[in-house]
Amino acid sequence: MTALEGSMGSLPMFTTPNRPLDILAVLPELATYARRATRLHPRRGNPAAEASSVAGPLLWPEDEPWPTCSLPHLVTVRREATAEEQARSPRIRESPAAGLASVNAKFEEIRARFPTDPNVARLASRWYDGQSRIPAVAPERVPAPTIITTQELVPTEHPVPLVPVVQLRTADVPEIPFPEGTDLLQILWCPHLHTTLRGPQQHYYGPAPSIFWRTAARLAHTIAPGPAAGGVGGYVLEQCTVHPEHITEYPDPEDLPEPLQEQIYAWEESLGDESAFDYRNDLSLAPGLKTGGWPYWPETSRSVRCDCGSEMYLLLTLPNGERGADSWNPLEECSQTGEDYNEELDDPTRFSGAREGILIYICHRDPHHEPWIAIE
């Protein structure tokens, strides 16, 4: 990762600190693997319709209807438990209130064990916020025990409107290969679970994105979609302004040839156990919402190709939270450390539904080809 490389636009700037070490001085062979990326630094706010944004109002063709999803959805089905099912499972026999109290008690045990963990704090905030929105049920009105299962349904009678994910101007994300004649990228998705998307997982469970390439000068209409009805809560993002910053990334070790991997591991070993940084966490991939750059594969690296044979380009990384190693915290927010949890800084989009995040790839030869989606 190189030194800070600038930010564009009139919004506040966020600046990635210089890396703890110039990795090219140690391993000049990595220069051929450098990739441009843009950290978007989302912060909750009210973006203008013509600006790059997360889940904000969009410029839209006046004669184009708002898109809906016609793919099968994996939906939750609740039904009354049979007597046999209640006999088999003590958990089913619990009243809803008793069951919730039991879960809360276990949750508090976890909070007590990890009082400074920002991920636990984020989960706690969402968990109790969700409970506060559930109306109390009088004891005499407690429903019969239920079984919760899933079922794939096609929303034929009431098509589900898509929700905005990002709108990005080419001036803010110059590393993206926009199709000729376009300068605005819009990604929307259906916020329900789907199982039939193109990607690496044999069993995909996630949202269904749609990608639109536009020419801003031809869009005179502004649209601000209303709240999404139903869907998975973590797939309906909070509205954010973005603050683009252009950086350079290097691959995760798993994406490098084995000889280079061995050089990195040998170099890290020479630093000793007391080193305050390492290659994977501090010198290769930036955390947070970003375009371009390199992917992070938590299990194994993958080669991504389009059906046409062309290589595919990492368009967007939407992570489960903005926080990474403290060395990546913007200079303007360096007082924040891994032990401090601030939802608006650490989790501004409130995206959830993946252990690490969602990766969206496009064909390098023709971005209009079907995208490739991975949930990590």
**Which CATH number belongs to the domain containing residue 301 in this structure?**
2.30.320.10
The pTM score is 0.77
The 10s digit of each residue's pLDDT in 304-317 is 888 899 988 999 99
283: in domain: yes
- The C-alpha atoms of residue 353 and residue 235 are separated, in whole angstroms, by 7
Q: Which of 118, 153, 188 is the last residue of a domain?
A: 153
Instruction: Examine residue 88 and state whether it is found in any structural domain, yes or no.
Output: yes
Residues 53 and 36 in one domain: yes
If you average pLDDT over residues 270-277, what whole number do you get? 86
Of the residues 153, 171, 198, the one at which a domain ends: 153
Q: Do 353 and 208 form a contact (C-beta atoms < 8 A)?
A: no
Is 195 part of a structural domain of the chain?
yes
Residues 61 and 35 in one domain: yes
Residue range 320-333, pLDDT digits in tens: 888 888 889 888 87
Q: What is the pLDDT of residues 226-261, one digit of tens each?
A: 766 666 778 899 999 999 999 999 999 988 999 999
Give the separation between CA 97 and CA 135, rounded to whole angstroms.
Answer: 12
In this structure, the answer to whether residues 198 and 217 fall within a common structural domain is: yes
Q: Are residues 237 and 194 part of one domain? A: yes
Residue 358 structure tokens: 């969602």
Does residue 56 form part of some domain?
yes
Q: Which residues pair with 150 in a beta bridge?
A: 76
Same domain, 290 and 345: yes
> Structural domain of residue 102, as residue ranges?
82-153
Both 266 and 191 in one domain: the answer is yes
Rounded to an integer, the average pLDDT of 54-75 is 88
What DSSP string runs through 54-108? ES--EEE-TTSPPPEE-S-EEEEEEEEPPHHHHHH-HHHHS-HHHHHHHHHHHHH
Both tokens of 218, joined, read 């031809």
pLDDT in tens, 76-96: 666 677 767 666 665 554 555
Is residue 134 in some structural domain? yes
Q: Could you give the number of structural domains in the chain?
A: 2
Answer yes or no: do 116 and 225 share one domain: no
SS3 state at 42: coil
Give me 274's structure tokens: 């007391």
Q: In this structure, are 202 and 321 located in the same domain?
A: yes
Same domain, 275 and 197: yes
Say if residues 185 and 211 touch (Cβ distance below 8 Å): yes
Query: Does residue 283 share a domain with residue 171?
Result: yes
Q: Is residue 35 part of a domain?
A: yes
Alpha-carbon radius of gyration of the chain: 23
More confidently predicted of 155 and 318: 318
C-alpha 202/C-alpha 194 separation (Å) is 12
Is the Cβ–Cβ distance between 204 and 375 less than 8 Å? yes
Residue 365 maps to a domain:
yes
**Cross-strand partners of 357:** 319
Say yes or no: 58 and 145 in one domain. Answer: no
Query: Of 107, 129, 153, which marks where a domain is finished?
Result: 153
Q: Which amino acid is at 135?
A: P
Query: Does residue 139 share a domain with residue 262?
Result: no
Coil, strand or helix at 260: helix
Tell me, yes or no, whether 13 lies in a domain: no
